[in-house]
Amino acid sequence: MTDTTAIEVQQLRFGWKPDQPVLQIEHLHIPKGQQVFLRGASGSGKSTLLNLLGGLMSPQQGQIQLLDQLLNTRSQRFRDRFRADHIGVLFQQFNLLPYLNLIDNVTLPCRFSSLRRQRAGNPEAAAESLLQALGLQSFVEHPVKTAELSIGQQQRVAAARALIGQPEILLADEPTSALDSDSRDQFLTLLSQQCQQHQTTLVFVSHDLSLSHHFDRVIDLSEINHKGAV
Ligand SMILES: Nc1ncnc2c1ncn2[C@@H]1O[C@H](COP(=O)(O)OP(=O)(O)OP(=O)(O)O)[C@@H](O)[C@H]1O
């Protein structure tokens, strides 16, 4: 556990019911800046692992360290604060606020975290620059409500929101599942560039193995998850 660690999991056990383990992971180490593709069959526990890494839930056993913090021993309140400061989340349902414009949606994390606000410098300018980098330049010049955007455009707004204020870790759960393959590849190229630029550690969950070439490392959940082993 060094200062090059983004994520370190040890002896993790989690089950929604005590007698039905979903995850049993002896060890997982992800260094800072690595871009990881986490694959696995439907129902194998990918989203559950992402929720545990994001501090949304606690394991029944084991340790989860993010950056220099052992999260599983901390309160929900501490984990929520830590997530707001250090983790960008990008989910399949983008959870954008339809009545707000793009800039207001993207700058939301800066309202919940003074650290991210500080890192963003000028949040509105940072949001504009992220939206431009993600190919939404025209909507910066001609503002619209997010409800007026296509799914692919909404997804890029959600990515900009996850990236604003340079969180050290980005957790993405199937954010490309609603897109065609060309848009998916284009989006992943942009996302990967953004993460590389800021040395963001990316954990990207999907069962679509054709996307794996965008990443530094592919982890097959079935190879690290020994649930059911005696
Ligand atoms: N809130 C919940 N309560 C009880 N069981 C759950 C809950 N969420 C998930 N599960 C169960 O945990 C297991 C893992 O689910 P999870 O959503 O993590 O899988 P996944 O690999 O992300 O699947 P998919 O690729 O289909 O999204 C499944 O058996 C699922 O039924």
Q: Which residues line ligand 1 (CB under 6 A)?
A: 16, 22, 40, 42-48, 207
Of all protein residues, the one whose alpha carbon is nearest to atom 5 of ligand 1 is 16
Ligand 1: atom nearest CA of 221 is 21
> What is the complex's ipTM, to 2 decimals?
0.97
Q: In angstroms, what is the span from residue 16 Cα to ligand 1's centroid?
A: 9
Please tell me the class of the 33-50+75-224 domain.
Answer: alpha beta
Q: Write down the domain spans for the chain.
A: 33-50+75-224
Residues 166-204 as b/e (b if ≥16 CB within 10 A, e otherwise) read bbbbbbbbbbbebbeeebbbbbbebbbebbeeeebbbbb
Residue-level pLDDT at 230: 39
For the stretch 74-131, pLDDT in tens is 999 999 999 999 999 998 878 899 888 899 999 999 999 999 999 999 999 999 999 9
Average pLDDT, the chain: 91
Residue of 37, 38, 48 with the most ligand 1 atoms within 8 Å of its CB, for mutation: 48
Candidate from 26-35, 70-79, 113-122, 132-141 with smallest mean pLDDT? 132-141
Candidate from 6-15, 21-30, 125-134, 140-149 with smallest mean pLDDT? 140-149
